[in-house]
């Protein structure tokens, strides 16, 4: 353990610099509640809605937007100490539509709970979220979501942090108004673990396979992977919503070793040759997204197959309580355009 006063100063400065300058923290005033309705994640570093994305929200009656505010990651610049710092903060170019409920989401690097006393930063963590909401005209926040892939080893430290976040939120909730609710992402394997001390869980029905394993067919979603944990849904102690994927990517291997995810590479690249199914070989070296792919490297293209989503959906949702919402990950017109309106409606349907 170490003294963390430098970080507290650092995060406080960053908090003051978010959005409009010198804005006061405005605590939310709405009664916190969780309405059932179509929802979607927004996971970009710039908030700007395209015409197609606005059309998607309107056409599919999207009520709730889970908007990633920032990540909390490691920084060792302060006297070689590991310091938790906010990174990749979303920049607001557009105003969030007033008819959408916004749930601020923060991704937290799980490894921080090995090395840091995260309870020391809980207050400024909450202040930063509330300041970002107030300075960007996001009013009536009723829920905040924590996204962390905690493990059995970090469970206690993470849960203590969650409780401390709750305490700090209560300090900024006006008298006579119920607490802002907390939700947390729940990976499939975490269904067998102790639930975190939050009001609600979001079951993440994606990234179900071994992405670094060359034998994996599709690490984004495979119904067989979901089947291993579906029986635990009905007995889980928290109410659950469920999130399904609508994204795609390319998995790059070199020398049989996983190298990186490539989000802009497509199968029609002239430097690729089809091997079988979704696997391609690099026939001529080239640069892609700042990385050099050598001849002989292997690419596995993965997507969120509609039929696979429906199979997983049928298996999972049998155990869910009636008052749950379906969330899509995430709001991006390039990915969403691969589905028909009817297919999106089927994914959202109970």
Same domain, 338 and 227: yes
Is the bond preceding residue 78 a cis peptide, omega within 30 degrees? no
pLDDT at 25: 39
Same domain, 209 and 287: no
pTM listed for this prediction: 0.89
Same domain, 126 and 232: yes
Same domain, 230 and 268: no
> From the first residue on, what is the mean pLDDT of each consecutive set of 10 residues in the chain (350 residues)?
40 41 38 82 97 97 98 79 92 95 97 93 95 93 96 98 95 69 97 97 97 96 96 95 98 96 96 97 98 98 98 95 93 96 97
Q: Is residue 92 classed as helix, strand or coil in its secondary structure?
A: strand
Same domain, 293 and 187: no
Q: Nearest CA to 300 among 323, 275, 324, 270?
A: 275
315: left (phi over 0), alpha (psi -120 to 50) or beta: alpha
Same domain, 135 and 159: yes
Number of separate domains in the chain: 2
Same domain, 232 and 312: yes
pLDDT at 177: 54
pLDDT at 322: 77
Q: Give the whole-angstrom CA distance, residue 233 versus residue 241.
A: 11
pLDDT at 65: 98
Q: Nearest CA to 197 among 230, 247, 251, 238?
A: 238
CATH number of the domain within which 69 lies: 3.20.20.80
First to last CA, the chain: 48
Same domain, 188 and 278: no
Tokens encoding 52: 């197609």
Same domain, 210 and 273: no
pLDDT at 54: 97
Same domain, 121 and 231: yes
Same domain, 33 and 166: yes
pLDDT at 285: 98
| Domain hosting residue 107, numbered range | 5-247+303-348
- Half-sphere exposure at residue 253, Cβ-oriented, CA atoms within 13 angstroms: 16
Give how far Cα 279 sits from Cα of 20, 246, 271, 330, Å: 47, 20, 13, 25
Same domain, 297 and 316: no
């Amino acid at each position: 353990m170490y003294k963390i006063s430098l970080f507290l100063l650092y995060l406080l400065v960053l908090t003051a610099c978010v959005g409009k300058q010198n804005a006061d923290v405005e605590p939310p005033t709405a009664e916190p509640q969780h309405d059932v309705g179509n929802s979607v994640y927004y996971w970009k570093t710039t908030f700007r809605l395209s015409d197609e994305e606005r059309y998607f929200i309107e056409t599919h009656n999207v009520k709730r937007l889970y908007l990633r505010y920032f990540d909390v990651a490691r920084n060792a610049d302060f006297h070689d100490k590991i310091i938790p710092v906010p990174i990749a903060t979303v920049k607001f170019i557009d105003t969030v539509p007033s008819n959408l409920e916004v749930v601020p989401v923060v991704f937290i690097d799980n490894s921080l709970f090995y090395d840091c006393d995260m309870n020391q930063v809980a207050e400024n963590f909450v202040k930063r979220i509330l300041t970002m909401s107030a300075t960007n005209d996001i009013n009536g926040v009723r829920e905040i979501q924590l996204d962390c892939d905690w493990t059995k080893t970090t469970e206690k430290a993470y849960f203590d942090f969650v409780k401390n976040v709750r305490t700090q939120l209560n300090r900024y909730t006006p008298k006579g108004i119920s607490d802002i609710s907390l939700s947390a992402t729940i990976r499939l394997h975490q269904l067998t673990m102790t639930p975190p001390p939050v009001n609600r869980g979001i079951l993440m029905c994606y990234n179900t396979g071994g992405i670094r394993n060359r034998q994996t067919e599709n690490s984004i979603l495979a119904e067989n992977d979901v089947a291993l944990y579906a029986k635990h849904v009905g007995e889980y102690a928290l109410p659950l919503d469920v999130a399904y994927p609508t994204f795609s990517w390319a998995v790059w291997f070199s020398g049989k070793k996983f190298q990186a995810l490539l989000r802009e590479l497509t199968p029609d690249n002239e430097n690729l040759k089809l091997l079988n199914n979704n696997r391609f070989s690099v026939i001529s070296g080239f640069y892609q997204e700042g990385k050099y792919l050598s001849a002989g490297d292997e690419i596995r293209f993965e997507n969120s197959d509609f039929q696979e989503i429906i199979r997983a959906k049928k298996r999972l949702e049998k155990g869910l309580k009636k008052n749950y919402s379906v969330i899509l990950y995430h709001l991006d017109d390039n990915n969403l355009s691969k589905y028909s309106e009817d297919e999106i409606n089927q994914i959202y349907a109970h």
